[in-house]
Amino acid sequence: MQPRVWFWALRHGRQSRVWIVGKGIACLLLVGTALALARVSLVLPVYALLIIIGSWIIPLVTSYIPHDPTGVDELTQTRAFRGMIASAIALEHLYHLEHHLYPSVPHHNWARLAKWLDPHLERAGVRPIKLWF
Protein backbone atom coordinates (compact mmCIF):
# COMPACT_ATOMS: atom_id res chain seq x y z
CA MET A 1 0.00 0.00 0.00
CA GLN A 2 2.81 2.45 0.78
CA PRO A 3 4.11 2.49 -2.81
CA ARG A 4 0.59 3.23 -4.08
CA VAL A 5 0.23 6.14 -1.67
CA TRP A 6 3.70 7.40 -2.57
CA PHE A 7 2.98 7.31 -6.32
CA TRP A 8 -0.38 9.03 -5.77
CA ALA A 9 1.35 11.78 -3.77
CA LEU A 10 4.00 12.09 -6.46
CA ARG A 11 1.33 12.58 -9.15
CA HIS A 12 -0.79 15.02 -7.16
CA GLY A 13 1.76 16.88 -5.01
CA ARG A 14 3.23 19.20 -7.59
CA GLN A 15 4.57 21.79 -5.12
CA SER A 16 6.00 19.17 -2.76
CA ARG A 17 7.46 16.83 -5.35
CA VAL A 18 11.07 17.31 -4.15
CA TRP A 19 10.08 16.38 -0.57
CA ILE A 20 8.02 13.42 -1.76
CA VAL A 21 10.91 12.04 -3.81
CA GLY A 22 13.32 12.69 -0.92
CA LYS A 23 11.13 10.85 1.56
CA GLY A 24 10.76 7.92 -0.84
CA ILE A 25 14.54 7.71 -1.22
CA ALA A 26 14.98 7.95 2.57
CA CYS A 27 12.54 5.06 3.09
CA LEU A 28 14.35 2.92 0.52
CA LEU A 29 17.69 3.75 2.16
CA LEU A 30 16.33 2.80 5.59
CA VAL A 31 15.04 -0.56 4.37
CA GLY A 32 18.19 -1.20 2.31
CA THR A 33 20.47 -0.32 5.22
CA ALA A 34 18.40 -2.45 7.58
CA LEU A 35 18.69 -5.44 5.27
CA ALA A 36 22.43 -4.86 4.71
CA LEU A 37 23.08 -4.69 8.47
CA ALA A 38 20.90 -7.69 9.33
CA ARG A 39 23.97 -9.92 9.63
CA VAL A 40 25.57 -7.52 12.12
CA SER A 41 22.54 -6.75 14.27
CA LEU A 42 18.81 -7.29 14.09
CA VAL A 43 18.00 -3.97 15.78
CA LEU A 44 17.64 -1.89 12.59
CA PRO A 45 15.72 -4.54 10.60
CA VAL A 46 13.31 -5.04 13.51
CA TYR A 47 12.93 -1.26 13.82
CA ALA A 48 12.20 -0.93 10.08
CA LEU A 49 9.70 -3.79 10.27
CA LEU A 50 7.93 -2.16 13.23
CA ILE A 51 7.70 1.14 11.34
CA ILE A 52 6.16 -0.62 8.32
CA ILE A 53 3.71 -2.59 10.46
CA GLY A 54 2.77 0.59 12.35
CA SER A 55 2.07 2.38 9.09
CA TRP A 56 -0.51 -0.31 8.34
CA ILE A 57 -2.04 -0.57 11.82
CA ILE A 58 -2.54 3.15 12.50
CA PRO A 59 -4.84 3.75 9.48
CA LEU A 60 -6.72 0.55 10.32
CA VAL A 61 -7.37 1.65 13.90
CA THR A 62 -7.96 5.36 13.25
CA SER A 63 -9.84 5.24 9.94
CA TYR A 64 -11.19 1.88 8.86
CA ILE A 65 -12.52 0.47 12.14
CA PRO A 66 -14.23 3.59 13.60
CA HIS A 67 -15.83 4.76 10.34
CA ASP A 68 -18.63 3.25 8.25
CA PRO A 69 -18.49 4.35 4.60
CA THR A 70 -22.04 3.07 4.04
CA GLY A 71 -23.46 5.42 6.69
CA VAL A 72 -26.00 7.92 5.39
CA ASP A 73 -25.61 10.64 8.03
CA GLU A 74 -23.36 11.83 10.86
CA LEU A 75 -24.76 9.27 13.29
CA THR A 76 -24.19 6.28 11.03
CA GLN A 77 -20.88 7.23 9.38
CA THR A 78 -18.96 6.77 12.62
CA ARG A 79 -19.31 3.78 14.94
CA ALA A 80 -19.96 4.06 18.67
CA PHE A 81 -17.95 1.67 20.85
CA ARG A 82 -18.60 0.80 24.48
CA GLY A 83 -17.34 -1.66 27.08
CA MET A 84 -14.35 -2.25 29.30
CA ILE A 85 -12.62 -4.60 26.85
CA ALA A 86 -12.99 -2.17 23.95
CA SER A 87 -11.79 0.64 26.20
CA ALA A 88 -8.68 -1.32 27.18
CA ILE A 89 -7.90 -2.19 23.55
CA ALA A 90 -8.44 1.40 22.40
CA LEU A 91 -6.56 2.90 25.37
CA GLU A 92 -9.65 4.90 26.40
CA HIS A 93 -10.08 6.32 22.85
CA LEU A 94 -13.32 4.61 21.91
CA TYR A 95 -15.62 7.62 21.77
CA HIS A 96 -15.08 8.33 18.09
CA LEU A 97 -18.72 9.14 17.30
CA GLU A 98 -18.78 11.63 20.16
CA HIS A 99 -15.54 13.14 18.86
CA HIS A 100 -17.13 13.65 15.43
CA LEU A 101 -20.31 15.14 16.88
CA TYR A 102 -18.49 17.42 19.35
CA PRO A 103 -14.89 17.87 18.16
CA SER A 104 -14.13 20.66 20.63
CA VAL A 105 -14.72 18.42 23.67
CA PRO A 106 -11.34 17.36 25.09
CA HIS A 107 -10.42 13.68 25.36
CA HIS A 108 -10.70 13.52 29.13
CA ASN A 109 -14.42 14.46 28.91
CA TRP A 110 -15.43 11.94 26.22
CA ALA A 111 -16.69 9.28 28.66
CA ARG A 112 -18.89 11.81 30.45
CA LEU A 113 -20.18 13.13 27.10
CA ALA A 114 -20.92 9.55 25.99
CA LYS A 115 -23.00 8.86 29.11
CA TRP A 116 -24.97 12.04 28.45
CA LEU A 117 -25.45 11.22 24.75
CA ASP A 118 -26.25 7.49 25.06
CA PRO A 119 -30.02 7.92 25.61
CA HIS A 120 -30.22 10.34 22.67
CA LEU A 121 -28.19 8.04 20.43
CA GLU A 122 -30.36 5.06 21.40
CA ARG A 123 -33.52 6.98 20.46
CA ALA A 124 -31.87 7.87 17.14
CA GLY A 125 -31.24 4.15 16.45
CA VAL A 126 -27.51 4.13 17.07
CA ARG A 127 -26.50 0.76 18.52
CA PRO A 128 -23.08 0.83 20.16
CA ILE A 129 -20.62 -1.95 19.45
CA LYS A 130 -19.83 -3.56 22.80
CA LEU A 131 -17.03 -6.07 23.28
CA TRP A 132 -18.17 -8.53 25.95
CA PHE A 133 -18.60 -6.07 28.86
Tens of pLDDT along the chain (133 residues)? 778 888 999 999 888 899 999 999 998 998 999 999 999 999 999 999 998 888 888 888 778 888 888 989 989 998 888 888 877 777 777 888 999 999 999 988 988 999 999 999 999 999 888 877 6
Angle, helices 17-36 vs 43-59, to 10°: value is 130
Domain span holding position 7? 2-64
Q: Give yes or no: residues 55 and 107 share one domain.
A: no
Q: Give yes or no: residues 54 and 90 share one domain.
A: no
Q: Give yes or no: residues 9 and 50 share one domain.
A: yes
Does residue 74 lie in a domain region? no
**What's residue 133's pLDDT?**
67
Q: Give yes or no: residues 17 and 58 share one domain.
A: yes
In total, how many domains does the chain have?
2
Q: Give yes or no: residues 23 and 60 share one domain.
A: yes
